């Protein structure tokens, strides 16, 4: 809650010494997760304002409950050795799914943010068929984990309303209730839009970390993004804010499969590149062809592909200028195909960007930078959804009660 220039922080009421202990254990786990499990125990103790003895007791209990393990820290000088707390080898797992228009990737993430891909597959057909296949895969992984999976985070290439209704216009999926289709997975399933989750990952682990107001743009077949304020993507009234690709930012008038006309996404992304070269686009078709065309444009082997990519670059800059005028960010980050578009013609992006800016933005326009996370943004953002639910006193207490003495 913000009042004027001061921020009021509400601390939960801690009724018992056990409440205080679990509260501090949760703070410690959150600090380890947010710090990518790289901080020493002594540094964490100082940052959290804990006594050294208190931290030792908490770490010991978390190790005993299979939440933490410690490794020796590199020593650069003489003195008392310290250790680095990190994920336990039998600790909690977040299963994460990146469900794209043409396929999906399943990964497992652990405390600290390291993820490992478990499976990939293409898909085509009805949402019922796609989610039935995913449900079978997820149930199998949950059973194999022996109770380690604490939730599933799923990134979807389309708007997600109220955390359960998925719309993917380019696949003709309308208002698909994913909570129904994945009801028997065995653990909570949390959904988010791919661009919004890429923005969340960028705010937690990328270039937007520590930025008060930023914009993240994720470009795949289409384009989406999010306005990030104080580390959180703004979701809107029902969770579907950030559909930048379905705004009329560059003056177009062509009809879009979403139902609107003149969408910015008709001028940027893999579908745009495919259409410009006479290839089939839409319904999740053509990722390999789009990547081939991108490579041909970059290497100079296809003047037509290069021309199409320059058109993408011009539209990218113009739309970003409009978003800056509306939102006044400190920084803009790009991921997906957006990085390649910008890198292919940075001068063209900047020219159209500056031309679209209001005069008072031009002296010090927000920088446009590439993500530090590669194409892992949606997967990492989906992982953050799960750990946000798990790293609460009630969930941590339940895990400790179930695993005390297992470490």
How does 100-125 read in b/e, with b if 16+ C-beta sit within 10 Å? Answer: bbbebbbbbbbbbbebeeeeeeebee
Average model confidence (pLDDT) across the chain? 92
Topology alike, domains 14-87 and 93-197+378-403: no
Write the pLDDT tens digit of every residue in 277-321. Answer: 998 887 778 889 999 999 999 999 999 999 999 999 999 999 999
Query: Measured between alpha carbons, how far is 83 from 68 in angstroms, rounded to an integer?
Result: 12
Residue in 215, 244, 245 with CA at minimum distance from that of residue 227: 215
User: 93-197+378-403 maps to which CATH number?
Assistant: 3.30.420.40
Structure tokens given for 201: 């990952």
The percent of the chain in helix, strand and coil, each rounded to the nearest 5, is 45, 20, 35
What integer is the mean pLDDT of 197-210? 97
Where does 14-87 sit in CATH, by number? Answer: 1.10.10.10
H/E segment holding residue 22: helix 17-34
Q: Which residue has the higher pLDDT, 156 or 407?
A: 156
Query: Is residue 406 pLDDT above 80, yes or no?
Result: no
Q: Name which of 120, 100, 350, 380 is nearest 222 in CA terms.
A: 100
Mean pLDDT of 183-204: 96
The CB density around residue 376, as the number of other CB atoms within 10 Å, is 23
Query: In this predicted structure, what is the pLDDT of residue 6?
Result: 40
Residue closest to 134 by CA, chosen among 159, 166, 175: 166
Percent residues over pLDDT 90 in the chain: 80
* CATH class name, domain 207-371: alpha beta
Listed by start position, the domains of the chain span 14-87, 93-197+378-403, 207-371
Against a cut of 0.85, is the pTM above it?
Answer: yes
| Tally of CA atoms within 13 A in the half-sphere of 172 that contains its CB | 5
The pLDDT of 366-380, averaged and rounded, is 96
């Amino acid at each position: 809650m913000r009042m004027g220039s001061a921020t009021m922080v509400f601390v939960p009421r801690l009724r018992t010494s056990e409440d205080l202990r679990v509260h501090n254990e949760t703070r410690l786990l959150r600090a380890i997760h947010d710090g990518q499990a790289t901080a020493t125990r002594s540094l964490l103790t100082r940052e959290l304002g804990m006594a050294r003895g208190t931290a030792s007791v908490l770490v010991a209990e978390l190790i005993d409950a299979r939440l933490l393990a410690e490794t020796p820290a590199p020593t650069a000088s003489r003195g008392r050795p310290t250790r680095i707390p990190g994920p336990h080898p039998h600790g909690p797992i977040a299963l994460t799914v990146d469900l794209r228009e043409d396929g999906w990737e399943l990964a497992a993430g652990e405390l600290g943010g390291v993820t490992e891909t478990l499976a990939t597959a293409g898909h085509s057909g009805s949402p019922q068929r796609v989610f039935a296949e995913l449900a079978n895969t997820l149930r199998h992984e949950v059973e194999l984990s022996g109770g380690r999976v604490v939730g599933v985070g799923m990134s979807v290439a389309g708007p997600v309303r109220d955390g359960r209704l998925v719309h993917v216009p380019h696949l003709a999926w309308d208002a698909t209730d994913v909570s129904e289709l994945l009801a028997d997975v065995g653990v909570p399933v949390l959904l988010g839009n791919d661009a919004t989750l890429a923005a969340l990952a960028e705010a937690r682990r990328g270039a937007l970390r520590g930025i008060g107001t930023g914009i993240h743009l994720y470009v795949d077949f289409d384009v989406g993004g999010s306005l990030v304020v104080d580390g959180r993507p703004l979701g809107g009234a029902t969770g579907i804010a950030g559909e930048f690709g379905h705004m009329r930012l560059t003056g177009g008038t062509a009809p879009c499969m979403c139902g609107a006309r003149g969408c910015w996404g008709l001028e940027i992304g893999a579908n745009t590149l495919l259409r410009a070269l006479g290839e089939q686009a839409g319904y999740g078709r053509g990722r390999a062809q789009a990547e081939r065309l991108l490579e041909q444009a970059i290497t100079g082997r296809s003047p037509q592909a290069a021309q199409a990519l320059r058109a993408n670059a011009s539209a990218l800059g113009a739309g970003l200028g409009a978003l800056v005028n509306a939102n006044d960010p400190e920084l803009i980050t790009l991921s997906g195909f957006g990085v390649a578009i910008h890198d292919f013609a940075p001068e063209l992006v900047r020219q159209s960007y500056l031309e679209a800016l209001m005069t008072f933005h031009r002296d010090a326009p927000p920088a446009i930078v590439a993500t530090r996370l590669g194409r892992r943004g949606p997967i990492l953002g989906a992982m953050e959804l799960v750990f946000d639910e798990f790293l609460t006193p009630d969930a941590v207490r339940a895990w400790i009660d179930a695993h005390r003495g297992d470490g």
